Structure 1
Amino acid sequence: MKQLRVLIAGTGFAGKGHTEAFRAAGTEVVGIIGRTEHVVREVAADLSIPYAGTDWAVALAVLSPDIVSIATPGGAHYVQIKQALVAGCHVFCDKPMTTTGATATELYELSKAKGVKTAYAASFQYTPSVQHAKRLIAEGAIGDPTEIESISHFNLERDIPFGWSHRAEDGGGRLNNNFTHSLAIAQTLVEGDILQIAGDVRDDLGRAPKVEGVHDFTKRRAFIPENLDDPTLEWGESNVEWSYTVMARLRSAMAAKPVSVLFKHGGLVPRFHDDHIAIYGTKGAIFLKGHYGSGALFVHDGTDWSQIPTPSDITDAMPQGLGETEQCWHILSDLFVRDIRGETVAPYPTFAKGSQYQNIIDVIRRSENWAEMDGGET
């Protein structure tokens, strides 16, 4: 079987991570595309990628890749994905899929019409602790699951330089970049289908300083201006949510009634207790430390809490020597590549889920679930 050829879009942290993930999956990364010519050439040289360019359409035509990997901010995804689908490429896309439910649905329908494989990287469901919790729930450790809570507070610096994360049209916002992972984890834990959703969002940032030179999203803190009172400093206005509260109901074959889920995220506020994901059932509960539940796992057996180590068969199956984000990319890209090759693999998130999530985000942002009250005593 021929070696599959991959073209990468994006030269930041995600682009580099996708490159290594697809190489580990046995593919050949033949090109990389970025916005800035000198940057993309430097990254291509560092990663030993033979083709570097700034024109996505030209790269598709010249390289004729089997797979494209979209690792750019969400605002660029629609055009890049559509051109790749028209060219008949399989598409691996980081979240968010696009910036609106309508465009995500359009691309999902196009992917079906073209008969290609797709992957959607809401991928923190693949951490060892989440997979361990999923196994315990399936084995009946907590009885029928009844409720999940997913709580996180990031305390992000308010003066991180203005960029794509501040703009809805560029794929910013905490729903696109945090909730997508949390919702996928909740579904994974109870093998649940989404029945109902309601939520509220809040932009409690307002504005951020405009600073030149930010390229790698993970290093943007280093560009916070020293003098925020400088009268020459320009400011950009945020138009996305930095906090959200979402409620959902999931249908699960493990439970007689829908599982209730609460998602609470504050992007700019400090945590007091651990961020966590907790799953409650009719006979016990599971507590996962960490905003994506990737820390220590505790089980309540109806009497007391006990920490349970991750089984060796789960940890041994994980890619070694990688950060959590990169580890999950490796797992998903491996499933994706094996599926393209015709192997039988476990279900993984595709554009079906990506388009569903984008439509859900539209619903939450509209916040139409409020009932007006008179504001006084009854």
Structure 2
Amino acid sequence: MLKVLISGTGFAGQGHADAFRGAGAEVVGIVGRTPHVVKEVAEKMGIPYAGTDWQQALDDCKPDIVSIATPGGAHYEPIKQAIAAGCHVFCDKPMTDRADTAVELNELAEAKGVKTAYAASFRYAPGVLHAKRLVAEGAIGEPTEIECISHFNLERDIPFGWSHRKEDGGGRLNNNFTHTLSIACTLVGETILNVAGEVRDDLGRAPIVEGVHNFATRRSFIPKDLDDPSLKWGESNVEWSYTVMAQLESPMADKPVSVLFKHGGLVPRFHEDHIVVYGTEGAIYIKGHYGSGALYLNDGQEWREQALPADIEAQVPDVKGETEQCWHYLARLFVKDIAGESVEPYPTFREGSQYQQIIEIIRKNGNWTDVSGL
């Protein structure tokens, strides 16, 4: 049985541990920053080893796989140490906080010969899997366009933390665009030809609050009195909104597929978030920002809701939560691949490093043409 060591004790760390257990691996240890927290999580989850020193944990546990489930700014050193130890690496998005470190880690992994998985994993949402099949079957003719639209209306006063800081792997490109780009690629083709975009930080600042540990419960720490003069504030330095255009090469189309990614982290939606794939003979509409809702097919005349095929439904891991389902799906592929079984291609550090380079290009906001003098 393959042995797994987890880095991170929050929502993602516990989710990764469950996913690898679901894939038939043994979770032998977990590492976190705070001694009492990592001890409590290990006891709760029945993980035999708990520690705060990552290198020591690698030496003590001798894992086959490490799972990196901390914020992106804390990925680089643990992954580098794990690769040096000959471990296969499963890493949540973003891969790191910078393009150069992401590229370096991909090169190190390839040189060492270890396998990697990059968890931009909502490509495994049931609706996305269904849409991918329909596109491949020619249900909409040649794909021509994709649009990925989402508005999260996040509370502006969520406590200041890693999500507000570029150097910690925060920002909506790292934590939303990575998923939707992966979805677009799995739908029509993995080759990204061109990209252009702009970002905006429309948050400014957030209250500093002690005691926030689990990203999933951060809303419960929003201060009741935001006018309290003793309240301290942290300044955001990363985007909360983005608009990106891309062109993807598709083996199913003669021309590049145009893609629009529009996300507003702090603004309310009017209609539902959605993903749409347009083609020369029809279109596919999926409700939900990551394609987890109902799917509709248009044959050129009207929209009809489509039932999820039984074989795809049977592949969906029987766990609560769409995030958790997708982690389970990818972990299952990764474990099977390491064990020598034949599996479909999945995102690796190649995609993770590529996405990080694309994010840096978008963040430059270098796509504007000044027409004020025309």
TM-score by length of 2: 0.99
- Residue from 200, 204, 207 that aligns with 2:205: 207
| Counterparts in 2 of 1:192 and 1:114: CA distance versus 1, 3 Å | closer
Q: What are the superposed Cα offsets for residues 134-175 of structure 1, whole Å, 9 maximum, x if unpaired?
A: 111111111000000000000000000000000000000000
Matches within 5 A, 1:222-371: 222-371=220-369
Amino acid at match of 1:115: G
Matches within 5 A, 1:139-218: 139-218=137-216
- Distance of 1:317 and 1:218 partners within structure 2: 26
Greater CA drift, 103-112 or 183-192? 183-192
Amino acid at match of 1:55: D
- Distance of 2:28 and 2:313 partners within structure 1: 31
- Distance of 1:191 and 1:257 partners within structure 2: 12
Q: What are the superposed Cα offsets for residues 85-135 of structure 1, whole Å, 9 maximum, x if unpaired?
A: 111110000000000110000000000110000000000000111000011
- Distance of 2:337 and 2:134 partners within structure 1: 27
Residues 1:126 and 2:140 aligned together: no
- Distance of 2:75 and 2:328 partners within structure 1: 21
Q: Where does the alignment leave 5 or more consecutive residues of structure 1 unmatched? A: none
| Counterparts in 2 of 1:244 and 1:316: CA distance versus 1, 3 Å | same
- Distance of 2:225 and 2:85 partners within structure 1: 48
Q: Which residue of 2 aligns with 1:99?
A: 97
Amino acid at match of 1:234: K
Matches within 5 A, 1:79-118: 79-118=77-116
- Residue from 70, 78, 102 that aligns with 1:72: 70
TM-superposed deviation, 1:317: 1.5
Q: Where does the alignment leave 5 or more consecutive residues of structure 2 unmatched? A: none
TM-score by length of 1: 0.98
TM-superposed deviation, 1:348: 0.3
Q: What are the superposed Cα offsets for residues 170-192 of structure 1, whole Å, 9 maximum, x if unpaired?
A: 00000000000000000011124
Across the aligned residues of Structure 1 and Structure 2, the Cα RMSD in angstroms comes to: 0.7
- Distance of 1:65 and 1:303 partners within structure 2: 55
Amino acid at match of 1:229: D
- Distance of 2:116 and 2:193 partners within structure 1: 24
TM-superposed deviation, 1:27: 1.0
> How many pairs does the alignment contain?
374
Q: Which aligned segments of 4 or more residues in structure 1 are displaced greater than 6 angstroms?
A: none
- Distance of 2:64 and 2:130 partners within structure 1: 34
